[in-house]
Structure 1
């Protein structure tokens, strides 16, 4: 990785961590979208880096807020996500073997759909959902986490509809994402798919994530939460379209 590529990766990591801290989501989506567009790191290697950064961000967030984790909702969602994490990782291998363009299309569509879903304000439910529903949404999150280390959107949507304190929702989600990331890192290690030594310079993004998280907490921008969500939506939507559209055009031209 050359200096310009590393600088681009660090800039993407800063924006992703800053947005994640303010909105509660988007670190993985922004990282994967930015890497997919710039090509500074291969997508499977970028997913490994995202897993590491998710854990780093979670350590900061949970250092004081771990007591807020909603255990009754955490357990079924996490259990289902871990079961389906392996399925997502297996699908990633299939797409990598088929075509990098297909991988970009799937990632782009995931980012676009997720951006639309996350931009909508979920209607609150009158009472807490049952454990089965948390398991279903956890399973969807597991597949996405296995594919691209982006487990957030399904669970974010479901949890923010529950009659839980915002702090409990945030800490529970962060705990689930961090656990998924750790397990995914273990799977990658066992499979022998760790990034080559030339890409481990990407770990310099760790202090960047720590700095961005601190700055977002200490000096948040003069924007309302709604404005921040809209900005995150626009960023994700445009990156998803820009990633998927060229790959779709390329495959269509090859098929013609």
Structure 2
């Protein structure tokens, strides 16, 4: 129970950062919990997926008109099969090469922190369907393997000539789809753990409270400063996950 509560508290912390900065929930929760050895990556990813499905279902209600559906369909066509492929790879690495899995997770988190700092120029015209499909494949792999689907699709969408509400709701849709595929895959396999459901249930009121606090009582620092702090935390978590593997291999 203490471990479950600690994971739920970390989810609340991640929710606070995500509410005030716009990103970071999955990376903070999975990265920090893995660093503290609270639970396996697969378990943590399942908990985040359950919460993401609930959040996306509520947030997208009545907002489907904001989504750019031609691009969304191309992304989802890549997301669904690659998420399953990522889950199959996760099953193998969790049992055969947990150190390699933590190292790869660390690299993804470092890449995410650095990529958020790099402002890519916005394209004059929308990318083609093949580009969105490829980003969907990479998104699904990251979502299935690590429970962190964000980096590829965020990089793709923020380069497009789209309004922010459209980008935001497309991200909600794609993250929810990735999480739903993960949860359905585990349900069909009979591997959806009761403990993951219990942890997610405990985290829901903490997520709601953290969101309320962040919206009404943001930290007394500039948003850009808080964003840099979040990026620094992500990079430090990523480096800390990579170091044990490097020490073991060198």
- Matched-pair contact (CA < 8 Å) for 2:46–2:196: no
Aligned to 2:209: 211
* Pairing partner for 1:90 from 63, 88, 96: 88
Give distance in 1, aligned partners of 2:22 and 2:58. 13
Query: Does structure 1 residue 202 correspond to structure 2 residue 182?
Result: no
**10-19 or 170-179: bigger deviation:** 10-19
Give distance in 2, aligned partners of 1:166 and 1:64. 17
Aligned to 1:113: 111
Partner deviation per Cα, 1:58-77 (whole Å, 9 max, x = no partner): 23433464432221221111
- Matched-pair contact (CA < 8 Å) for 2:16–2:211: yes
Deviation of 1:251 after TM superposition, in Å, equals 3.8
Give distance in 1, aligned partners of 2:213 and 2:81. 36
Aligned to 1:13: 11
Give distance in 1, aligned partners of 2:63 and 2:195. 36
**138-147 or 62-71: bigger deviation:** 62-71
Secondary structure of 1:193's partner? coil
Partner deviation per Cα, 1:208-239 (whole Å, 9 max, x = no partner): 11222233333333444433331221111011
Q: TM-score normalized by structure 2?
A: 0.91
Give distance in 2, aligned partners of 1:71 and 1:223. 37
The 5 Å alignment of 1:6-85 reads 6-63=4-61, 65-85=63-83
Query: Does structure 1 residue 100 correspond to structure 2 residue 98?
Result: yes
Unaligned stretches of 5+ in structure 2?
none
Deviation of 1:106 after TM superposition, in Å, equals 1.1
Aligned to 1:152: 150
Distance 1:165 1:146, change over 3 A: same
Deviation of 1:142 after TM superposition, in Å, equals 0.7
Deviation of 1:94 after TM superposition, in Å, equals 1.8
Aligned to 2:236: 238
Deviation of 1:30 after TM superposition, in Å, equals 1.2
- Matched-pair contact (CA < 8 Å) for 1:41–1:199: no
Give distance in 2, aligned partners of 1:36 and 1:29. 10
Root-mean-square deviation over aligned CA pairs:
1.9
Give distance in 2, aligned partners of 1:176 and 1:120. 22
Distance 1:46 1:117, change over 3 A: same
Secondary structure of 2:60's partner? helix
Give distance in 2, aligned partners of 1:207 and 1:66. 26
Unaligned stretches of 5+ in structure 1?
none
- Give the total of aligned pairs: 249
